[in-house]
Structure 1
């Protein structure tokens, strides 16, 4: 049974969502369409730097700032040592970073160098332990860690219950009176296991095709 077949059998409402998709269905990461994108880092460190840079801004702005950051270091990402050695008051305007993101990047570098974050170990850790490891970095919360799990480590059963767009889409698809709480979403999504990541991709795609509630 494919993941799509499992979701259809497990949840008829989600099955109807899948049938109503406009355009190609979402793919579980890694998406081959993004494989050659030079703006998408391939290593754990680069992905986390990009995740920090990208928080709460558009994709266009994220790419621009990420490139400025690399330009400051000769067209490549700075090492953790270089990030901490750079003057944050100069780095921030040069790369177009906010103060909070500058603090977060420096925290990431400090956690790596101090041994509080073992980037190489993340690939083998269970999902909850990856989230716990990343939570030591200022500015990397549960949601960012979950996106790291889904789109970089390609974990198939991640449910970001705090994602507002996902909760909006579930409210619409299931005819709920209000957006589900994280606890309610967890209960509703139980039948999707072990493919909650794919279910989320379908519901996010539904959100993109519909006006905001």
Structure 2
């Protein structure tokens, strides 16, 4: 008997294959691809943890992000902290773990808003994607890429695309045989045909990115500034292991 996840995946793949011949080729070339396997390589994360993961990875290489997360986990008995726990450690300890002062400020501001009730993670989980993005990007240092990653990781949203992610843009360029690196609006236009399964399509393209020789730069993750973003998640998605 086919379980609900298998039925969903079969339906989503069929829809994407019918909608986009490029994705049809990527899907057919990867018959055993599990789009959710990469999540098993991540530490357990709620919404705050996923945002911490994303903020930590901004403007860092994949190895540097892994080292930073490992040092943060060491401060909290081998796991990522809750918002309240993060506020209970000195800012200097977070800086010593490898976070820049800007990132420390961003995470403490996020944690304070959660702690005092201005942000309700449970309430956010019931909102549409665009409303989640609007609320969280009001915090300095958190941009769309950061929230989009958290939507994928923590909330398991099915229709998320990261148009500013450099690895994804390079994968789109290669897969669609473009003569230029697509900007965010072009990625979004291409991704329109993937609805309502843009997360799955993005997973396939991240998987393909690892195979394109110029798809991923060692510089790592983004700054949440347009056209300068990079991806730590692409390497994690492609089975590179836990980001430590």
The interval holding the TM-score normalised by the smaller chain is 0.7 to 0.9
Match for residue 54 of structure 2 among 26, 51, 54: 51
2:237 match: none
Match for residue 13 of structure 1 among 18, 22, 31: 22
2:127 match: 125
1:113 match: 115
Q: TM-score, normalised by structure 1?
A: 0.84
Query: 1:17-58 CA distances to partner (integer Å, 9 max, x unpaired)?
Result: 22334x84141x4x3x754x5x61232222222222233334
Deviating more after overlay: 156-165 vs 114-123: 114-123
Structure 1: which 5+ runs fail to align?
none
**151 and 80 in structure 1: CA distance in 2 versus 1, 3 angstrom threshold:** closer
Which entry has the higher C-alpha Rg, 1 or 2? Answer: 1
Structure 2: which 5+ runs fail to align?
1-9, 216-244
How big is the shift at 1:163? 1.3
Instruction: Say yes or no: does 1:180 pair with 2:192.
Output: no
Backbone CA RMSD of aligned residues: 2.4
Q: Which has the higher contact order (CA 8 A, sep 6+)?
A: 2
Contact 1:54 1:62 in 2 (8 A): yes
Query: 1:52-87 CA distances to partner (integer Å, 9 max, x unpaired)?
Result: 223333444334322322333455544534534543
Aligned equivalents of 1:145 and 1:91: distance in 2? 21
1:25 match: 33
Moved over 4 A (4+): 73-79
Q: TM-score, normalised by structure 2?
A: 0.74
